[in-house]
Amino acid sequence: MGMGNAPILILREGTKRDKGKDAQYNNITAARAIADAVRSSLGPRGMDKMLVDSMGDVVITNDGVTILKEMDVQHPAAKMLVEVAKTQDAEVGDGTTTSVILAGEFLKKATDMIDANVHPTIITAGYRLANQKAQEVLKKVSTKVSINDDKLLKQIAANAMISKQVGGSKEFFADMVVDAVKTIIDKDAKGNYTADLKNIQTVKKAGASMDESQLVKGIIIDKEPVSPAMPKKVSNAKIAVVDAAFEVKKTEIEAKIQITDPSQLSAFLQEEENMLKNMVAQVKKAGANVLFCQKGIDDLAQHFFAKEGIYACRRVKKSDMERLARSTGASICNKIMELSKEDLGFAESIELKVIENEEMTFVTGCKEPKTVSILVRGGTTHVADEVERSLVDAWSVVKVSIEDGMIVTGGGSTAMEIAMQLRDYAASVGGREQIAIEAFASAMEIISTTLAENAGLDPIDINIQMRKAHKEGKVNAGLNPFTGKIEDMRKLNVIEPLRIGKQAINSATDAAVMILRIDDVIASRGSSTPEFNPDMSSVDDD
């Protein structure tokens, strides 16, 4: 029986579908546009971006992941590159721009191969082989770094900040960062170093030069004593950290109290007062002269604390309570009447300081400070925000350098060495995968190309000079953007943790492979269309 010419509808009306090369080109173009959005921010000569959200809030930064997080990206393939940056930031803390640029370049090279009718599965197979070889080369060219090599660690921190707004004060901040990370570092059961960066606290205050930022070996609590009658400074502080309210508890069930005699009311109020007085007496009996409470402190209890000369703060954040316990050696007490001398922590000084008209409590002089605080200053709020982002990048790279104990050179030198060795490797692989490996090698040169472009240099000349140097066995030859010359990056101390390159190449390859394997995009009605608007693109086809 004939079916006639009636159309068969499988998908809901209004569904948009792109197939084959159209889908691939659409995805690749969108992803490359994301890479080009952050490309000009790479390196010490990189520029900043101003991002304005729907509420009018402004962010000025050249931090790759911050730029991409603030951009309202709609295209699904473009979102994959944003995920690359987020993963890089979570794993290493730096190298986000590098990872996105690499992913974009892998896709650009893949476009040429798709045009030449090389099947995407061949390209992805070649890219995976190239990634494995690149990881081997990375490991081969890396060198060791010790936790005791302060000079090298400070250089790693400074290099992470050189392209940021704090670049002019990078030595000052590098000292601070290395000191902070080494304070919070721990050893696990196997003897490996580990650091939890949650133990570094930042407190931002605008209104002063960034050079007035300071490291506090202890904690800054953004709370003041609950009563002005309390002391402003306590030396040899014995600290109680309590997660319970200094208030008269309400009954859990609904209850009414009937008072028929004025003397009963007086006795009732007296009993409430006695309960609060007993709570304060328990703190005094334990030997504490400082109290940090996560919950409330009744007005009457405040009066009793002030009479006893105890420095008391209330409504302290849970994260600050945990830092206090870790740094001072205190135990967080949940039952006031069970507080004892053994639960107390110790600090040499508890002091109330006024920073930009805001009172804050500084806890310093802990015996074994396992948490540190950095008071971040800046001329404006935007500057303070960017200083904080720079410091986060810096202590992240110092942390992974200590944990892994391995570093590589920057300035595009490692990427160029990978490219050179991949070209030799491609010839040994043979087959069509060889084309993909050579394309991967060429894509690795985007790092030196971008560094040269951002420094106002000719990228073709720079790449030719770098290839020549690496051919001569100069593994650490990279671009010095300030002189425009190819120099030994190891001698210039342009170094970074091995994990930055390792993670960047891995995640960029995975994202590129995932996008290349898509040959059909089905967008249901009502979902954001995956169609890419070329007016938003600044793709450079040179």
- 18 catalytic? Reply is no
pLDDT score, position 448: 92
Residue 113 placed within a domain: yes
- 458 catalytic? Reply is no
At 6, is the pLDDT very low, low, confident or very high (cuts 50, 70, 90)?
low
End-of-domain residue from the set 345, 368, 391:
368
Residue 262, amino acid: P
CB 131, CB 69: distance < 8 Å: no
End-of-domain residue from the set 314, 341, 368:
368
356 and 384, same domain (yes or no):
no
481 and 399, same domain (yes or no):
no
Residue 442 placed within a domain: yes
Residue 12 placed within a domain: no
* Candidate list 96, 183, 328, 361, residue with the active-site label: 96
The two three-digit tokens of residue 14, written as one number: 């209004």
212 and 84, same domain (yes or no):
no
Residue 15 placed within a domain: no
- From the list 237, 234, 200, 205, the residue with the least C-alpha distance to 215 is 200
Full domain range(s) for residue 296: 224-250+260-368
128 and 174, same domain (yes or no):
no
pLDDT in tens, 150-174: 888 998 888 888 877 777 788 888 8
487 has a pLDDT exceeding 50: yes
Residue 8 placed within a domain: no
End-of-domain residue from the set 404, 426, 459:
404
Residue 480, amino acid: N
Maximum CA extent, the chain: 101
414 and 476, same domain (yes or no):
yes
pLDDT score, position 535: 46
Alpha carbon 414 to chain centroid, angstroms:
23
352 and 333, same domain (yes or no):
yes
| pLDDT over 90 percentage in the chain | 29
523 and 417, same domain (yes or no):
yes
pTM (2 d.p.): 0.77
Q: Angle formed by the axes of helices 413-429 and 459-471, to 10°? A: 70
What's the structural domain count of the chain? 3
129 and 153, same domain (yes or no):
no
CATH number at residue 104: 1.10.560.10
231 and 350, same domain (yes or no):
yes
pLDDT score, position 3: 52
- In 49-116, the DSSP E strands lie at 49-52, 58-61
94 and 170, same domain (yes or no):
no
267 has a pLDDT exceeding 70: no
- 519 catalytic? Reply is no
CB 295, CB 315: distance < 8 Å: yes
pLDDT in tens, 197-226: 888 888 888 888 888 888 888 888 888 999
* Candidate list 87, 97, 361, 409, residue with the active-site label: 97
Residue 385 placed within a domain: yes
309 and 361, same domain (yes or no):
yes
CATH number at residue 180: 3.30.260.10
* Candidate list 320, 343, 385, 393, residue with the active-site label: 393
CATH number at residue 299: 3.50.7.10
- In 91-162, the DSSP E strands lie at 143-144
280 and 378, same domain (yes or no):
no
Residue 9 placed within a domain: no
509 has a pLDDT exceeding 80: yes
Cα-Cα-Cα-Cα dihedral of 252, 258, 261, 262, to 10°?
50
pLDDT score, position 70: 79
pLDDT in tens, 100-133: 999 999 999 999 898 888 888 999 999 999 999 9
pLDDT in tens, 348-402: 999 998 888 888 899 988 877 788 888 888 888 888 888 888 888 888 889 989 9
- 343 catalytic? Reply is no
Higher pLDDT, 62 or 40: 40
Q: Is 205 left (phi over 0), alpha (psi -120 to 50) or beta?
A: beta
Residue 1 placed within a domain: no
* Candidate list 63, 89, 343, 510, residue with the active-site label: 63
Q: What share of the chain is helix, strand, coil (3-state, %, to 5)?
A: 50, 20, 30
